């Protein structure tokens, strides 16, 4: 006991601070069980079944795409909402290294907190919209930016090669929602889709098989495009300057976007109101039909 501070000597055995890593981990587990009682759900038979089915369906890690998956991860944090916990479409197969690494870092950084309220009650974290921990892509990356309906997806479709990686929030949202039709219901998947988008962007830092990647994003301001380009080490930044009325006409012709056409039209005008150039931009006036 010699050399131990007096206040530590006077502590009740149950009140003293944990000293070893094992004690600290047990203390954290006890606090989590107390503050998050839904953690007990992971011991239920239904979770064992959901996990086994997910890993059988997707045996390889969906983040690094190289290691066998051992963890069924909730893409959209359930935070005690049973419907999200038990939804098999809300699961992703990942390896332990990815789960304990970049995914855990994102959770500790508050990347899944609700900070920004988008239109009609869709709430997305600021760190999800603009992640702080971007990594430079290991393969050539092109950013394609523009307003809704400007033709971003069509441009990429016409220029990408077989095996290229395309990261598009609309396509990811459709994957998660199970439909390409845009509606208020599919917009509820937006945060989960953005989290998945960010994971795919991070995975580009370890990519070795594909020869090129394309990142489709609105990014109206030059500063926003610069931030993405610098953080991801983009080789090119393409801005499609399609006139607002042409964008809106394309949106109105698209059956998949008809349910939210008015909202997308407002987004087009908002994009142009916020638009500013950057020296990095390669500007294209796109005339074909598209996104």
> What is the per-residue pLDDT across 110-164, written as a single tens digit (0 to 9) for each?
444 333 344 444 555 666 777 877 899 999 999 999 999 999 999 999 999 999 9
Is residue 76 a part of any domain in this protein? yes
- Give the count of alpha carbons within 13 A of 123, CB side only: 7
160 and 103 within one domain: no
Is residue 188 classed as helix, strand or coil in its secondary structure?
Answer: coil
98 and 136 within one domain: no
272 and 182 within one domain: yes
135 and 101 within one domain: no
Tell me the C-alpha distance between 165 and 214, whole Å.
Answer: 6
Is residue 73 a part of any domain in this protein? yes
276 and 150 within one domain: yes
The 10s digit of each residue's pLDDT in 202-242 is: 999 999 999 999 999 999 999 999 999 999 999 999 999 99
Classify residue 138 as left (phi > 0), alpha (psi -120 to 50) or beta. Answer: alpha
173 and 85 within one domain: no
Average confidence (pLDDT) over 159-182: 89
The 10s digit of each residue's pLDDT in 181-193 is: 777 666 667 777 8
Can you give the residue range of the structural domain that contains 178? 131-284
Is residue 173 a part of any domain in this protein? yes
57 and 143 within one domain: no
Is residue 45 a part of any domain in this protein? yes
Tally of domains in the chain: 2
Last residue of a domain, one of 93, 108, 123: 108
43 and 183 within one domain: no
149 and 99 within one domain: no
DSSP 3-47: T--HHHHTS-TTTSPP-SHHHHHHHHHHHHHHH-GGGGGGGSHHH
Q: Which of 174, 151, 183, 187 is nearest to 290 (CA)?
A: 151
Is residue 3 a part of any domain in this protein? no
Average confidence (pLDDT) over 37-66: 86
Last residue of a domain, one of 43, 74, 108: 108
CATH number at residue 152: 3.40.50.300
Tell me the C-alpha distance between 22 and 19, whole Å.
Answer: 8
Give Rg (Cα) of the chain.
Answer: 23
Is residue 61 a part of any domain in this protein? yes
201 and 81 within one domain: no
Does the structure show a pLDDT above 90 at 81?
no
List Cβ<8 Å contacts ≥24 apart for 83-92: 85/38, 85/41, 86/46, 86/50, 88/50, 88/53, 88/54, 89/176, 89/178, 90/192, 91/50, 91/51, 91/54, 92/54, 92/58, 92/62, 92/63, 92/196
145 and 47 within one domain: no
Query: Is the model's pTM score more than 0.75?
Result: no
181 and 45 within one domain: no
């Amino acid at each position: 006991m010699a050399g131990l501070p007096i206040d530590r000597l006077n502590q009740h055995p149950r009140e003293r601070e944990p000293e070893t890593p094992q004690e600290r981990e047990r203390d954290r587990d006890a606090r989590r069980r107390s503050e998050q009682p839904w953690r007990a759900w992971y011991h239920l038979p239904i979770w064992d079944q959901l996990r086994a089915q997910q890993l059988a369906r997707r045996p390889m890690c969906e983040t690094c795409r190289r290691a066998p998956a051992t963890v069924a991860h909730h893409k959209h944090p359930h935070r005690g909402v049973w419907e999200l916990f038990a939804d098999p479409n809300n699961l992703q197969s990942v390896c332990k290294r990815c789960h304990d690494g970049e995914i855990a870092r994102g959770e500790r950084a508050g990347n899944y907190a609700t900070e920004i309220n988008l239109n009609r009650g869709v709430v997305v974290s600021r760190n999800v919209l603009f992640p702080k921990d971007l990594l430079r892509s290991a393969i050539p990356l092109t950013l394609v930016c523009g307003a809704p309906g400007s033709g971003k997806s069509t441009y990429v479709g016409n220029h990408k090669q077989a095996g290229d990686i395309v990261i598009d929030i609309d396509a990811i949202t459709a994957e998660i929602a199970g439909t390409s039709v845009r509606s208020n219901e599919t917009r509820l998947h937006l945060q989960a889709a953005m989290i998945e988008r960010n994971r795919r962007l991070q995975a580009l830092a370890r990519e070795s098989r594909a020869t090129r990647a394309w990142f489709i994003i609105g990014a109206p301001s030059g500063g926003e495009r610069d931030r993405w380009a610098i953080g991801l080490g983009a080789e090119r930044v393409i801005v499609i300057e399609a006139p607002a009325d042409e964008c809106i006409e394309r949106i109105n012709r698209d059956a998949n976007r008809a349910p939210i056409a008015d909202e997308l039209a407002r987004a087009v005008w908002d994009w142009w109101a916020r638009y500013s150039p950057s020296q990095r931009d390669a500007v294209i006036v796109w005339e074909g039909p598209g996104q």
